[in-house]
């Protein structure tokens, strides 16, 4: 063992190895020394455990791998071939070119974020989107915070705290990643009163729960699931009428902020923000990065008196949105103002993409895979807490199936995830499916190249 320990290379020898020459040029010497020490130390422990000393090559390779891991950015773009347009794990909505440009310009330089250019004095960051949001939704006032969960938290903290908020049991939903709306709401200090049953809630259920402690009635859009069969839910009109009778505000957690008519695209009707406002809710909340198609944000629209109280609450400061996303949100909203949302916002372009176009792209991809793949009919999903259960007819490239083919599907899925950028497909049973719908058209070239490479390395 003593011999083995003596054969350990010195730190100098490791960092002066020729394979580290490029790292030596770009990284501080101290970092190289640190990493080399760590790797040699691991090797020393391994020898003490009775293992033979591994060659210098191995140690240098390990150092290189660690330096690579440390310097490469972990968060990176991927190609979404899953067919789920708003994929929460893949970052929800890709944003428009103009939104990107707007974000870049305020990130790059100073801005009038909270500076009034007319008076030359302090201004408010809210003004940059409030007018747009009011115009689009018809609301009196608007406020933007970090995300929709923040919006709900802020509203209940500022307006209900210590009193009760009544919500249908069938709408007390989990929004993915183990987060439950009721848990977020409880953080506000408001007491949640769940009424009705999972599948049925009637207006009488709400009315019976009303007391002097009631602070609000809340509707939550059942965004990521659908209950079928024997169900009954209270309409927003009924809830509003009840709220009015008892002088209790009604809040509407819309989940996905939709301004467009989804039925035009063959989808089920998704409640729109302007509908909710027109019916008279006190406040409506929605996300910036779901169907709205912008950056992550939590948008609150509604009655001035309520929005004003939120604006002044200390939590508003803790939950505020940063200038970069604010710029992206404003640019996204301006697409709606200009009537060009379907043309310019990627999410809506994907929803509106004709099947013939998808078929053309799927065929292009399948050709590269030769006999391995076929193009078949499939379904894309909008996802991201909107249009539960709603799908769009699509064409997918399908690979695998048949005896022993399951492994091919998994193997290909893994190979595609290792491409640069990674390509994420959907494994369904024995098949790997690649749906072009949520792949940006300018990425087709990259997909084709990756498929060529994968086929070539399979043949080897
Ligand atoms: C998605 C969703 C949320 C959470 O929105 P974030 O922007 O992710 O915080 C809250 N409520 C509903 C109904 C949702 O669908």
What was the pLDDT predicted at 213? 97
d(CA 187, CA 191): 9
Q: Is 75 exposed, middle or buried (0-12, 13-18, 19+ CB in 10 A)?
A: exposed
> Would you list the domain boundaries of the chain?
2-71, 79-87+350-459, 96-344
Contact between 352 and 365 (Cβ < 8 Å): no
CA of 149 to the centre of ligand 1 (A): 6
Distances (CA, A) of 278 to 131, 216, 237, 268, 338: 17, 19, 11, 20, 21
Task: Please name the residue whose Cα sits nearest to atom 15 of ligand 1.
Answer: 255
Q: Which atom of ligand 1 is nearest to the CA of 386?
A: 15
What was the pLDDT predicted at 459? 73
What was the pLDDT predicted at 231? 79
Task: Please name the residue whose Cα sits nearest to atom 2 of ligand 1.
Answer: 255
Please say if the pLDDT value at position 224 is more than 60: no
pLDDT in tens, 355-391: 999 999 999 999 998 888 999 999 999 987 666 667 8
Query: Architecture of 79-87+350-459 per CATH?
Result: Alpha-Beta Complex (3.90)
CA of 144 to the centre of ligand 1 (A): 14
CA of 3 to the centre of ligand 1 (A): 62
d(CA 151, CA 313): 12
Task: Please name the residue whose Cα sits nearest to atom 14 of ligand 1.
Answer: 255
DSSP 30-85: HHHHHHHHHHHHHHHHHHHTTPPPPPHHHHHHHHHHHHHHHHS-SS---EE-SSBS
Radius of gyration, CA atoms only, the chain? 27
What was the pLDDT predicted at 186? 86
Please say if the pLDDT value at position 126 is more than 60: yes
pTM of the predicted model as reported, rounded to 2 decimal places = 0.92
Please say if the pLDDT value at position 226 is more than 90: no
Q: Which atom of ligand 1 is nearest to the CA of 221?
A: 13
d(CA 117, CA 373): 59
CA of 60 to the centre of ligand 1 (A): 47
How large is the greatest C-alpha to C-alpha distance in the chain, in angstroms? 89
* Class of domain 96-344 as given by CATH: alpha beta
pLDDT in tens, 264-322: 999 988 899 999 999 999 999 999 999 999 999 999 999 999 999 999 999 999 999 99
Task: Please name the residue whose Cα sits nearest to atom 11 of ligand 1.
Answer: 255
CA of 184 to the centre of ligand 1 (A): 11
CB of residue 298 inside a 6 A radius of ligand 1: yes
Contact between 217 and 243 (Cβ < 8 Å): yes
DSSP 404: T
CA of 169 to the centre of ligand 1 (A): 17
**Residue of 149, 154, 258 to mutate, ligand 1, most atoms within 8 A of C-beta:** 149
Closest CA to 334 of 141, 96, 93, 115: 96
CB of residue 386 inside a 6 A radius of ligand 1: no
More confident residue, 229 or 419: 419
Lowest mean pLDDT of 3-7, 99-103, 438-442, name the range: 3-7
Q: How confident is residue 174, by pLDDT bands cut at 50, 70 and 90?
A: low
CA of 126 to the centre of ligand 1 (A): 21
Q: Which atom of ligand 1 is nearest to the CA of 224?
A: 15
What was the pLDDT predicted at 407? 79
d(CA 35, CA 49): 21
Query: How big is the CA angle at 169 (ends 163 and 173), to the nearest 5 degrees?
Result: 95
pLDDT in tens, 236-253: 999 999 999 999 999 999
Q: How confident is residue 177, by pLDDT bands cut at 50, 70 and 90?
A: low
Q: How confident is residue 38, by pLDDT bands cut at 50, 70 and 90?
A: very high
pLDDT in tens, 140-149: 999 999 999 9
Sheet strands (E) in 294-372 = 298-302
DSSP 133: H
CA of 419 to the centre of ligand 1 (A): 31
What was the pLDDT predicted at 408? 82
**Residue of 255, 256, 270, 298 to mutate, ligand 1, most atoms within 8 A of C-beta:** 255
Please say if the pLDDT value at position 404 is more than 70: no
Please tell me whether the peptide bond between 259 and the residue prior to it is cis, using omega within 30 degrees of 0.
Answer: no
Q: Are strands 79-80 and 423-424 parallel, antiparallel or unpaired?
A: parallel
d(CA 424, CA 447): 11
Place of tokens 């940059």: 128
CA of 413 to the centre of ligand 1 (A): 30
Q: How confident is residue 184, by pLDDT bands cut at 50, 70 and 90?
A: confident
Enter the tokens of residue 361. 């792209």
Mean pLDDT of the chain: 92
What was the pLDDT predicted at 223? 60
Q: How confident is residue 114, by pLDDT bands cut at 50, 70 and 90?
A: very high
């Amino acid at each position: 063992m003593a011999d083995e320990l003596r054969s350990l290379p010195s730190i100098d020898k490791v960092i002066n190895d020729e394979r580290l020459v490029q790292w030596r040029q770009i990284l501080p010497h101290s970092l190289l020394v640190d990493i080399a020490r760590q790797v040699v130390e691991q090797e020393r422990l391994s020898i003490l455990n009775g293992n033979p000393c591994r060659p210098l090559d191995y140690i240098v390779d390990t150092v290189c791998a660690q330096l690579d891991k440390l310097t490469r950015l972990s968060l990176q773009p991927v190609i979404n071939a899953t067919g789920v347009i708003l994929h929460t794990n893949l970052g929800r909505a890709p944003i428009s070119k103009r939104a990107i440009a707007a974000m870049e310009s305020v990130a790059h330089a100073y801005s009038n974020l909270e500076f009034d250019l007319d008076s030359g004095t302090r201004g408010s960051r809210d003004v940059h989107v409030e007018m747009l949001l009011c115009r689009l939704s018809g609301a009196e006032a608007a406020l933007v915070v970090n995300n929709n969960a923040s919006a709900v938290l802020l509203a209940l903290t500022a307006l209900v705290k210590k009193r009760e908020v009544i919500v249908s049991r069938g709408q007390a939903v989990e929004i993915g990643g183990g987060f439950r709306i009721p848990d977020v709401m409880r953080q506000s200090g408001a007491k949640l009163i769940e009424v009705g049953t999972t599948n049925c809630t009637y207006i009488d259920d709400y009315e019976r729960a009303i007391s002097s402690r009631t602070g609000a009635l809340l509707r939550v859009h059942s965004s990521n699931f659908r209950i079928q069969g024997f169900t009954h839910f209270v309409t927003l009109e009924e809830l509003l009428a009840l709220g009015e009778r008892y002088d209790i505000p009604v809040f509407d957690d819309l989940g996905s902020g939709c301004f467009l008519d989804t039925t035009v695209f063959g989808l089920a009707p998704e409640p729109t923000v302007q509908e909710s406002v027109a019916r008279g809710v006190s406040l409506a909340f929605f996300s910036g990065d779901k169907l709205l198609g912008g950056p992550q944000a939590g948008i609150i629209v509604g009655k001035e008196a309520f929005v004003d109280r939120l604006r002044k609450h200390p939590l508003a400061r803790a939950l505020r949105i940063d200038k970069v996303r604010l710029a992206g949100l404003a640019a996204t909203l301006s697409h709606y103002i200009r009537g060009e949302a379907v043309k310019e916002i990627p999410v809506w372009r994907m929803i509106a993409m004709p099947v013939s176009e998808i078929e053309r792209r799927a065929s292009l991809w399948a050709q590269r895979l030769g006999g391995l793949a076929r193009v078949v009919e499939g379904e894309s999903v909008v996802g991201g807490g909107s249009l539960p259960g709603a799908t769009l007819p699509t064409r997918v490239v399908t690979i695998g199936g048949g005896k022993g083919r399951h492994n091919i599907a998994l193997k290909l899925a893994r190979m595609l995830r290792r491409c640069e950028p990674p390509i994420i497909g959907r494994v369904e049973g024995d098949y790997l499916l690649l749906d072009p719908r949520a792949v940006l058209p300018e990425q087709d070239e990259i997909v084709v190249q990756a498929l060529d490479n994968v086929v070539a390395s399979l043949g080897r």
